[in-house]
Amino acid sequence: SPWGSVGPAAPACSLTEVMSEQLARQLDEEDQGFPALPPSPAADPEEGPDTDSDLMLAQMLQMQFDREFDDQLRREERKLNGDSKSISFENYRKVHPYEDSDSSEDEVDWQDTRHDPYRAKPQAAPRRGFSGKGKNITTKHDEDACGRKNTARMDNFAPEVHVGDGLGMDLKLSNQVFNSLKQHCYSEQRRSARLHEKKEHSTAEQAVDPRTRLLMYKMVNSGVLENINGCISTGKESVVFHADGGLEEQPVPEKVVLKVFKTTLNEFKNRDRYIKDDYRFKERFSKLNPRKVIRLWAEKEMHNLAMKKAGIPCPDVVLLKKHILVMSFIGKEHVPAPKLKDVALGAEEAAEAYRQVLQLMQLLYQDCNLVHADLSEYNMLWYQGKVWLIDVSQSVEPTHPHGLEFLFRDCRNVATFFQKRGVSEALSVYDLFNAVTGLNIPVSADDDARFLAEIVAMEKRNEDHVQKRGKKTFPVTLEDGGPPLDPD
Q: What is the pLDDT of residues 368-400, one digit of tens each?
A: 999 999 999 999 999 999 999 999 988 988 888
Q: What is the pLDDT of residues 27-45, one digit of tens each?
A: 777 777 655 555 555 445 4
Check residue 469 and give its pLDDT.
41
Q: Is 259 helix (H, G, I), strand (E, B) or coil?
A: strand
Residue 212 clears pLDDT 80, i.e. is over it: yes
Q: What is the pLDDT of residues 94-140, one digit of tens each?
A: 765 444 444 444 444 444 444 444 444 545 555 566 677 767 777 77
Task: State the pTM of this model.
Answer: 0.55
Check residue 242 and give its pLDDT.
92
Check residue 442 and give its pLDDT.
78
The domains of the chain, with CATH numbers, are 130-197 (no CATH), 208-336 (3.30.200.20), 338-469 (1.10.510.10)
Kindly give the pairing relationship between strand 130-131 and strand 138-139.
antiparallel
DSSP element (H, E) containing 228 = strand 225-234
Highest mean pLDDT among 33-37, 164-168, 329-333: 329-333
Check residue 378 and give its pLDDT.
92
Residue 157 clears pLDDT 70, i.e. is over it: yes
Q: How far is CA 486 from the centre of its chain?
A: 56
DSSP 129-159: SEES-GGG-EETT-HHHHHHHHHHHGGGS-T
Highest mean pLDDT among 97-111, 150-164, 470-484: 150-164
Check residue 200 and give its pLDDT.
52
Selected residue with higher pLDDT from 206 and 324: 324
pLDDT (average), residues 437-458: 78
Q: Is 439 helix (H, G, I), strand (E, B) or coil?
A: coil
Check residue 18 and give its pLDDT.
59
Q: What is the pLDDT of residues 257-270, one digit of tens each?
A: 999 988 765 555 66
Q: Which residues are catalytic?
A: 374
Residue 91 clears pLDDT 90, i.e. is over it: no
Q: What is the pLDDT of residues 312-327, one digit of tens each?
A: 999 999 999 988 999 9
Nearest to residue 270, comparing CAs of 379, 372, 394, 390? 394
Nearest to residue 363, comparing CAs of 393, 327, 389, 328? 389
Distance CA 115, CA 118 (A): 9
